[in-house]
């Protein structure tokens, strides 16, 4: 058992995550034959199979599932040793893995990364853009250090820090610029374009309109805010987008933007990180940078 290495444990984790030798090898930055050989050597050392192999997929055996769980715990502990060393420095330095949801990343990151580059020149920033459930999972597993999301996420193992509030604006075809702005109830009678299932922004828009659920309608769900705005410009319907997205997404589409007359729909943007993370105190500096980057965007709007 003394021959088991941390590299092999990372390869097991990658293969368990991707379920495919090629994708796991690419994620691990090695060749597929090399990954296959490392897994085979590990199985021979253990005297038991970790994976079931078929032509289409690779899956963990019963023993493999238990082994992968313990391997992940070991890898997280090793990673936290590095975090502990970084936390002992006077300021945050080295690799910082930040997760961001897609309705924030394209608009906030350019300003945020510029600020962090000025204030923390020794930081090596790695960005992971994906939806909230995936970020929560990756943060729990130690694959990212922190995430910028819409709050609350209500996970007891995370620290949540609210950073700023952001309004939602109504986007309509340019020809409706002079029309009265509908109420939230009135939007139920319009063709409301939404992001596809899984985006928290979709759920927030439905909540504002007091719509509990919507039956799937072909051609009305988009994978990005850009797609939704372009569809509005084509006269297909209306949509809601966060305020920080307006300058970027509306500049090339024949649309108009309006605020609602009543209480503004909005969301709270914040940062989350593991309560046990050695970087917890240092991440407050990053939170301050996010807050200031948001203020810069609001001033520029």
Segments making up each domain of the chain, as ranges: 6-84, 93-301
DSSP 8-state assignment for residue 154: -
Residue 298: is the preceding peptide bond cis (ω within 30°)? no
CATH 3.40.190.290 is right for the domain spanning 93-301 = yes
Structure tokens at 282: 């240092």
Task: Kindly provide the b/e burial profile for residues 251-278, where b requires at least 16 CB atoms within 10 angstroms of the residue's own CB.
Answer: eebebbbbebeeeebebebbbbbbeebb
CA–CA dist 189, 187 (Å, integer) = 5
Contact in structure between 149 and 272 (CB atoms under 8 Å): yes
Query: Looking at residue 218, what is its pLDDT?
Result: 47
Structure tokens at 289: 């940078």
Query: Looking at residue 28, what is its pLDDT?
Result: 87
CA–CA dist 275, 160 (Å, integer) = 9
Query: Looking at residue 77, what is its pLDDT?
Result: 79
Query: Looking at residue 95, what is its pLDDT?
Result: 83
Going through 152-300 in order, the beta strands assigned E by DSSP cover 158-173, 192-195, 221-222, 238-242, 255-258, 266-274
Structure tokens at 287: 């939170």
Please give the chain's pLDDT, 301 residues, in tens.
567 888 999 899 889 888 888 888 988 889 999 999 999 999 999 989 999 988 778 889 989 999 998 888 888 877 777 766 666 665 677 788 999 999 999 999 999 999 988 888 888 899 999 999 999 988 988 889 999 999 999 888 999 999 999 999 999 999 999 899 988 888 888 888 988 887 888 888 888 877 655 444 444 678 899 999 999 999 999 999 999 999 999 998 999 999 988 778 899 999 999 998 888 888 888 999 999 999 988 877 6
Query: Looking at residue 75, what is its pLDDT?
Result: 84
Q: Where are the alpha helices (DSSP H) in the chain?
A: 6-18, 21-28, 32-46, 62-87, 105-119, 132-140, 200-208, 225-233, 246-249, 280-300
CB-neighbour burial class of residue 216 (10 A; exposed 0-12, middle 13-18, buried 19+) = exposed
Contact in structure between 245 and 103 (CB atoms under 8 Å): yes
**What number does CATH give the domain 6-84?**
1.10.10.10
CB count in 10 Å sphere of residue 240? 26
């Amino acid at each position: 058992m003394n021959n088991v290495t941390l590299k092999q444990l990372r390869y097991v984790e990658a293969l368990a995550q991707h379920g495919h030798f090629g994708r796991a090898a690419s994620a691990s930055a090695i060749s597929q034959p090399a990954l296959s050989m490392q897994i085979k050597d590990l199985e021979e050392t253990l005297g038991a199979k970790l994976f079931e192999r078929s032509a289409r997929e690779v899956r963990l055996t019963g023993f493999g599932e238990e082994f992968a769980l313990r391997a992940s715990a070991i890898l997280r502990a090793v990673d936290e040793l590095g975090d502990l060393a970084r936390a002992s420095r006077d300021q945050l330095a080295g690799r910082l893995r930040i997760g961001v949801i897609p309705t924030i990343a394209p608009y906030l990151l350019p300003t945020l990364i510029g600020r962090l580059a000025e204030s923390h020149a020794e930081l090596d920033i790695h960005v992971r853009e994906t939806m909230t459930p995936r970020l929560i999972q990756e943060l729990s597993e130690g694959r990212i250090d922190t995430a910028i999301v819409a709050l609350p996420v209500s996970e007891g193992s995370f620290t949540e820090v609210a950073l700023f509030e952001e309004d939602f604006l109504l986007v309509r075809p340019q020809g409706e610029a002079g029309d009265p702005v509908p109420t939230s109830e009135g939007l139920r009678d319009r063709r409301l374009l939404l992001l596809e299932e899984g985006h928290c922004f979709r759920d927030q828009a439905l909540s504002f309109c007091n719509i509990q659920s919507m039956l799937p309608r072909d051609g009305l769900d988009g994978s990005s805010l850009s797609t939704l705005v372009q569809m509005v410009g084509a006269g297909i319907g209306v949509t809601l987008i966060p305020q920080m997205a307006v300058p970027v997404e509306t500049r090339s589409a024949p649309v108009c933007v309006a605020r609602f007359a009543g209480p503004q729909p909005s969301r709270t943007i914040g940062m989350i990180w593991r309560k046990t993370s050695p970087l917890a105190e240092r991440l407050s500096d990053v939170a301050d940078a996010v807050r200031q980057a948001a203020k810069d965007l609001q001033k520029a709007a």
